[in-house]
Structure 1
Amino acid sequence: MDRSGAIRRRLALGFAVLTAAGLMALMSPGSAQAADSYCSGRKVRTLSFSTGSVQIYKRDGYVCAMTVPKDQQSRKRTMSVSVQARGGRPVVDQGSFSHHAGPVTVHAGHRCVRVKGSVGSGSVSSSWILC
């Protein structure tokens, strides 16, 4: 009895089903996400500044942040977002974006984090938060 052939067929079928499910999820009508849904978890803080805001989310020890401009025009402008867990290096996304910078995610565990963000000439920088 050749069990390895049966196992390979089952694995191939399982892989095909997972691939099809993933493709269907990407093609579904609701796949265009609002800015709030790029980070998983619950929103724990919003840091507002003159030209935008940094939205901060937390889930299972991970902190995720993204910078969103105040005016939602689809023109490119310089934006950045940075999250740093205490004792670690900052994770940064910066460049010329139309809708948002980030998301960036760090594993903070129970450590404090520092969050920075900017849109054009406006910016914000937190102290150590979410301790």
Structure 2
Amino acid sequence: MPGSTAVRRALARARPRPVAYALVLAVAAGLLTLAGPGAGTAEAVSVCQGRPARTVSFATGELRLYRTRHYACALVLAKRPGAPRPMKVTLQPRGGRAAAVSGRWGRQAGPVTVHALNRCVRATATVSGRSAATGWILC
């Protein structure tokens, strides 16, 4: 076949070189080492924008509040992630309507975000029947 030699040459050039492969593995191992312990663990990563503003712990979970210049965001994390259980988180700006998320989750409920430019907010969280609430905060 007239074109088969060119195809074979192209395939030979496309194969990874053993030295390059070893170099890629070494770089990947180095990056994992630099990332430190816990980099591969399943830690709760915030899905809210902004800086952490307040954390309220209670018997079965933790209510986390975040704040940007214009918005407030809340989420609730179960202390012991596992089987789905009833969870709810609400966030209300002063003078505005409360935003809420409820359902059955195993780890986290939320996020809930409200517009809170120059306004206080209050939040509540429930995990398995136990709850926590804040007064008017972040004023």
After TM superposition, the score normalised by the length of structure 2 is 0.67
Q: 2:119 aligned to 88, 107, 111, which one?
A: 111
Superposed CA deviations along residues 52-105 of structure 1, whole A, max 9, x for unmatched, are 0111001122000000001122x1000000000000010000011111110000
What is the total number of aligned residue pairs between the two structures? 99
TM-aligned CA deviation for residue 34 of structure 1: 4.8
TM-score for the superposition, normalised by structure 1: 0.71
Work out which of the residue numbers 31, 41, 45 in structure 1 matches 2:50: 41
Let me know the Cα RMSD of the aligned residues: 1.6
Out of 56, 75, 89, the residue aligned to residue 66 of structure 1 is 75
- Deviation at residue 121 of structure 1 after TM alignment: 1.7
Correspondence for 2:103:
95
Question: What percentage of aligned pairs have identical amino acids?
Answer: 44
Alignment counterpart, residue 81 of structure 1, candidates 76, 89, 107: 89
Gaps of 5+ in 2: 1-41
**Matched residues in 2 for 1:89 and 1:63: separation?**
13
Taking the aligned partners of 1:106 and 1:130, their CA distance within structure 2 comes to 13
Query: Alignment partner of 2:45: what SS?
Result: helix
Aligned to 2:19: none
The 2-side partners of 1:110 and 1:125 are apart by 21
Large movers: runs of 4+ above 4 Å: none
Opposite residue 56 of structure 1, the aligned amino acid is L
**Could you say what secondary structure the match of 1:36 adopts?**
coil
